[in-house]
């Protein structure tokens, strides 16, 4: 998932810094956890600036009726300063003022609010306010701001707003959610028909990477999503696999494929796209880069014979280091029985090279 997590972290950081994501493309070369930590430090640097000034304004605000404070926020402070001020107030007081603001103004403030202050305020807002603000953000296409807040919503608010958001909005928001540990619970609130509609939306709107990212973070819902995806028409699955191949997202797709039942796995393995030598070659190279042999070999086992021969040929042509990594991975995970049919399809030279490696030779002795 590192590739997709890295994309999401770059989008969030670009929003914080008010720059185009392309300007931060170099971050893709760094470990994703380092990028996330950097983003958290940027949040601290941006929102901890000049706290004394905000504290003085907050002290005055505490003396005003909530309705008057709401009027001042709109007419004198503006969204950025009002959002900063909300983070300095007691959460109950901030929620009382927000209750008197128009949803469109609150939505503009959400873009600037300190992410560390969201939880305390959200827990005190009425569901009706939350839903109205969420719909304004959705209409503006502000998925990054929605991603900051959605992990803090109560089930009652989620059940009100989820049916009113279209598939692309849900996928884009889920992809950049700030609290991915909540995503499985959110998906569980959607019935099978709605989840299937999100899969259709991923295909129709070019959002397969976002869909894979959401599925990978969905915890115990991952198997359900994988099964509903496997039930899609052949053309839709073909689209998913081709996008995966083009963007080298095998590290995100293969763990989901491993959750399929035997019948579902055989149906996927029979797809015409998995007879394309270019796709299969990219698949093997992607697995070499990520070490996901334990996910690939069960798929290879049920591929048509012609496709298995392509995989065997590509694997047999790996350089010594990659072939050794394959051998060690197979040995460590006890996958010899799964890899044996693949070895038998290799030419004599490749077979001898593989079997001569220490990881295989040690077991024979």
Give residue-wise pLDDT tens across range 81-100: 777 777 677 777 888 888 88
Q: Which two tokens stand for residue 350?
A: 């490749």
CA distance 211 to 23: 24
How many residues are there in the chain? 365
% the chain with pLDDT above 70: 91
CA distance 242 to 104: 40
Check pLDDT > 50 for residue 364: no
Selected residue with higher pLDDT from 299 and 222: 222
> How many angstroms separate the first and last alpha carbons of the chain?
38
Check pLDDT > 80 for residue 253: yes
Check pLDDT > 90 for residue 119: no
pLDDT digits (tens, 9 = 90+) for 153-177: 999 999 999 999 999 999 999 999 9
Which residue from 127, 115, 46, 50 is spatially nearest to 86, judged by alpha carbons?
Answer: 115
Task: Work out the pLDDT band at 227, boundaries 50, 70, 90.
Answer: very high
């Amino acid at each position: 998932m590192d590739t997709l997590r890295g994309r999401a972290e770059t989008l969030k950081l670009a929003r914080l810094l008010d720059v185009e994501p392309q300007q931060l493309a170099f971050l893709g070369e760094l470990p994703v956890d380092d990028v996330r930590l950097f983003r958290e430090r940027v949040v601290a640097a941006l929102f901890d600036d000049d706290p004394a000034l905000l504290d003085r304004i907050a002290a005055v605000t505490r003396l005003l009726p909530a309705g008057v404070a709401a009027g001042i926020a709109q007419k004198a402070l503006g969204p950025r300063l009002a959002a900063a001020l909300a983070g300095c107030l007691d959460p109950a007081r901030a929620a009382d003022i927000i209750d008197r603001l128009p949803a469109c103004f609150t939505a503009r403030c959400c873009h600037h609010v300190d992410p560390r202050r969201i939880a305390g305020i959200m827990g005190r807002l009425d569901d009706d306010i939350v839903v109205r603000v969420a719909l304004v953000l959705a209409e503006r296409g502000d998925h990054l701001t929605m991603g900051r807040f959605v992990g803090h919503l109560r089930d009652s608010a989620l059940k009100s707003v989820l049916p009113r958001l279209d598939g692309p909005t849900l996928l884009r928001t889920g992809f950049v959610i700030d609290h991915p540990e909540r995503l499985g619970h959110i998906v569980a609130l959607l019935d099978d028909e709605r989840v299937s509609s999100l899969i259709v939306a991923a295909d129709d709107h070019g959002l397969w990477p976002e869909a894979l990212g959401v599925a990978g973070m969905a915890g115990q819902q991952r198997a359900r999503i994988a099964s509903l995806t496997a039930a899609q028409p052949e053309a839709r699955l073909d689209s998913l696999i081709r996008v995966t191949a083009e963007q080298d997202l095998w590290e995100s797709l293969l763990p989901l494929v491993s959750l399929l039942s035997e019948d579902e796995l055989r149906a996927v393995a029979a797809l015409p796209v998995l007879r394309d030598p270019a796709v299969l070659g990219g698949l093997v190279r992607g697995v070499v880069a990520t070490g996901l042999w334990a996910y690939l070999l069960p798929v290879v086992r049920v591929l048509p014979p012609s496709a298995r021969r392509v995989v065997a040929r590509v694997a047999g042509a790996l350089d010594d280091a990659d072939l050794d990594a394959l051998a060690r991975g197979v040995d460590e995970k006890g996958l010899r029985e799964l890899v044996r049919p693949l070895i038998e399809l290799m030419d004599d030279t490749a077979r001898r090279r593989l079997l001569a490696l220490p990881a295989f030779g040690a077991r024979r002795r």
